[in-house]
Structures are given as C-alpha cells and as structure tokens.
Amino acid sequence: MTRWDHAPEIRDLAGQIGGWGGAPVERILDHCRRRIDGWVSDAGGVIGIDALESLVTKRLQMVFEEIRADEDFDRLTQVYARDKREFVFATMRSKFDDDANTTFGALVLRRNATADSPDRYVAVIDCRGSKLARRFFTRWHEIAHRLTTHADGGDTEPGYRSEHDPIERMMDEIAGHVGFYDPIFDPAFRQASEGKHLLTFGTAETIISESFPSASFQATLFACARRMATPVVYLEATLNHKKDVKRKMATPSLFDEEPSPGELRAVKVIPNKAAQDEGFTIPTNMRVPPETVIHRLFDAEPQTSGEDNEDMSQWESKGKSLERRAVVVEGRKVADRVIAIVQPVEKKRAKKQSGRTPLFSE
Ligand SMILES: [Zn+2]
C-alpha cells in the first residue's frame, strides 16, 4: 500500500472502476493495463509506442490538439468554439497561462459530438516553452484520464487540478505505466541494460533512441529505475527552503526582507521497490551536501552530466548523517534542476551492536 491508497479520491475511483481485491492504486493500474492489453490483442499486436498511442486513442475516441504557440489558442477557438459551438475552447487559455497552477493538458468531452464521433474527446496539450519536454508524458496523462475519470459515465468537465491532487498523481502513475507499456518497454530495457549490474544514463538514452523517441530523458530514466531489481533512488534537486521558512514566506507580514533563493535540496526522492525494501533512501527536502556531484552539476551548464563514487553519510541534517554506505551517483542538469540516480555499491552494513558487552561481570 502506498500513501495514495488512503486518499478518498483514489478509493472512490477504484470503487467506480469496480473489481475487487488489491490496493486501490494497483487495482486502477490493472484496469488500465487490461483494457489496453485487450485492444492490442484485438489488433494482433503493435509495433511501437506511437502505434500503441494511435490504437489506444482511436479506441477511446480521442484526438490531440497541441499548443505550440499562443496563436494555437485562436485556432482552437475558431475550429471548436466558432465552427463546432464548443465554447469551453474559447476560454481555456487563461487556465494554461496561470503560472500559479501549472497546467500541461486538458481533456474535453465535446457536447455536440455524436456517440460515435472519432473526436468525441479532445485532449489539448500545452507544448510551449519548458512544457514541451513533458509532451509525451502529458499525452499519456490525458489518455489516463480518458481511461478512468473521463471514462464514459465519468467526469465530463475538463478538470484543472493542482499537481498535488491525488487524482493528478494517480494519472501520472498510470501514464508512467501505460506510456512505457511493458510489452514494448521491457525488451528495450533488457537489450539496453545487457551485461550491466547498475542502471546508467546510457541505458535510458539507448531506450529513447531505439524505442521511445518522443519520451523525455527524465521520464525514461524513472521508468528504468522502477524496473531495476537492485536498489535505485531517483531524485531531483533544486533550490528550495526548509519547511518552516516556506510557511513564513506564505505569510508576507512575517517576512519583510527579500526572500532568499533557498538551498539546493532533494525536492523529489523516489526509491524503487528494492530500495524501499532495504530502507535505502534520502529524506525528501534534505539539503544536498556541498561536496557532491549533484551540487557541482547544479552550477554547471544545462545538459552537463557527471558521475562519482560517494557515501550516503555525506548527507546530513541537524548534525545527524545518513547511514554509511558506498554509492555511485550519476546526475544531469536539466532546466532548473539536477536529476540523479543513487545506487549502493556495497551491501547494507549490519547494525552496530548497541553498547559494549562487558567481558567480566562486575
Ligand atoms: Zn490531469
């Protein structure tokens, strides 16, 4: 069970989907995989991820509209609002331009479409600026909505939820699974990682160039980490504040001076299954130690990569450090952050015995 299994929204969604047994998140994932497996089998198999996306969207009666420039909103207004009388398209730009609540995509059920229209659902994907890097993932995120919350009989209004909303996290989870569809991803992963004990950036790059040309490096690396049978911690580091400072900053009266940019912290930390089983992880929002490769890369040019042998005990907070364990860390500067994988290169050390055993009884 993950903490999302306890969110009422996720439990409700699992309930709507039906079936029984298993934790809610796994049940929802299973439902999505099973629908896609059925369509793939009807079609006699698929050759690659693009063919899978076409097959799935066709079955779901959905089409994509990509926003590459601001003018694309005028085009959507013309095509959908004026010509097809779907007025929601005339006002959606403000949602996508709202910096306070980043929106990457939206799924619209066309009110004037017929039950068999191939474009009954329109997924609008924002590909402007830095959002372009997420294009592949956003498309699968909207497919995930159509498979679940926007399934026939589900929500009909486009949802603009915050990225921390459990439903949005669930859609990302589904996108991470079905967008890197096992029957296509697994052979590519096996081939790319042949003969290697540890995950490397090179493995993710080979998979992208061979099989997932439109996936981002970040999403592909994460998909690889998830499949590793050995412990891998995927992390993203960027400038952030301590929790209590963040709270103060939310109340302007308590924070008169210019707010500081914060320190480099591990803002996103995702241990894979093997890492969770061993308790091998880094606490979220921990400060990145200054003398590490992640810290060096943060000050480097975008797309710079680096690797180093380090020790988990370098990570410390309030005078306490993480347990000693030799690790290899590989990282890359991507946009405003460093993304990295941390993997142990030695076995978990046995816990030191607490206190000394007296040799002689006194
Ligand atoms: Zn969404």
Q: What is the pLDDT of residues 91-103, one digit of tens each?
A: 999 999 998 888 9
| Three-state secondary-structure class, residue 339 | strand
Question: Residue 120 and residue 27: Cα distance in Å, rounded?
Answer: 27
- Which pLDDT score is estimated for 21? 76
The Å distance, Cα 142 to ligand 1 centre, comes to 6
Range in 33-42, 167-176, 208-217, 237-246 with the lowest mean pLDDT: 237-246
The Å distance, Cα 163 to ligand 1 centre, comes to 8
The Å distance, Cα 350 to ligand 1 centre, comes to 44
- Cβ distance 308 to 318 under 8 Å? no
| CB proximity list for 314: less than 8 A, separation 6 or greater | 289, 291, 292, 321
Q: Which chain residues have CB less than 5 Å from ligand 1, an ion?
A: 168, 171
Encode burial over 234-255: b for 16+ CB neighbours within 10 A, e otherwise.
Answer: bbbbbebbeeeeeeeeeeeeee
The Å distance, Cα 109 to ligand 1 centre, comes to 14
Strand partners, 65: 124
The Å distance, Cα 32 to ligand 1 centre, comes to 15
The Å distance, Cα 285 to ligand 1 centre, comes to 25
Strand partners, 107: 123
Q: Assess whether pLDDT exceeds 70 at residue 259.
A: no
DSSP state at residue 76 = H
- Which pLDDT score is estimated for 348? 85
The Å distance, Cα 20 to ligand 1 centre, comes to 25
- Which pLDDT score is estimated for 242? 82
Q: Assess whether pLDDT exceeds 80 at residue 304.
A: yes
Confidence label for 171 from pLDDT (cuts 50, 70 and 90): very high
The Å distance, Cα 275 to ligand 1 centre, comes to 28
The Å distance, Cα 120 to ligand 1 centre, comes to 18
Q: For the chain, what percent of residues have pLDDT higher than 90?
A: 78
The Å distance, Cα 318 to ligand 1 centre, comes to 38
Question: Residue 267 and residue 327: Cα distance in Å, rounded?
Answer: 20
The Å distance, Cα 187 to ligand 1 centre, comes to 29
The Å distance, Cα 124 to ligand 1 centre, comes to 11
Give this prediction's pTM.
0.87
The Å distance, Cα 7 to ligand 1 centre, comes to 16
- Which pLDDT score is estimated for 351? 65
pLDDT, greater one: 21 or 207: 207
The Å distance, Cα 354 to ligand 1 centre, comes to 49
The Å distance, Cα 106 to ligand 1 centre, comes to 7
Domains and CATH numbers, the chain: 18-178 (no CATH), 228-344 (3.30.450.130)
Confidence label for 254 from pLDDT (cuts 50, 70 and 90): low
DSSP for 191-225, please give it. HHTTT-SS--HHHHHHHHHHT-TTS-HHHHHHHHH
Confidence label for 255 from pLDDT (cuts 50, 70 and 90): low
DSSP for 268-337, please give it. EEEE-HHHHHHT----TTPBPPTTSHHHHHHTSPTT-EEEEEEEGGG-EETTEEPPP-EEEEEEEEETTE
> Mean pLDDT, to the nearest integer, of 234-257?
75
Q: For the chain, what percent of residues have pLDDT higher than 70?
A: 92
The Å distance, Cα 137 to ligand 1 centre, comes to 11
- Which pLDDT score is estimated for 361? 42
Q: Assess whether pLDDT exceeds 50 at residue 362.
A: no
Confidence label for 353 from pLDDT (cuts 50, 70 and 90): low
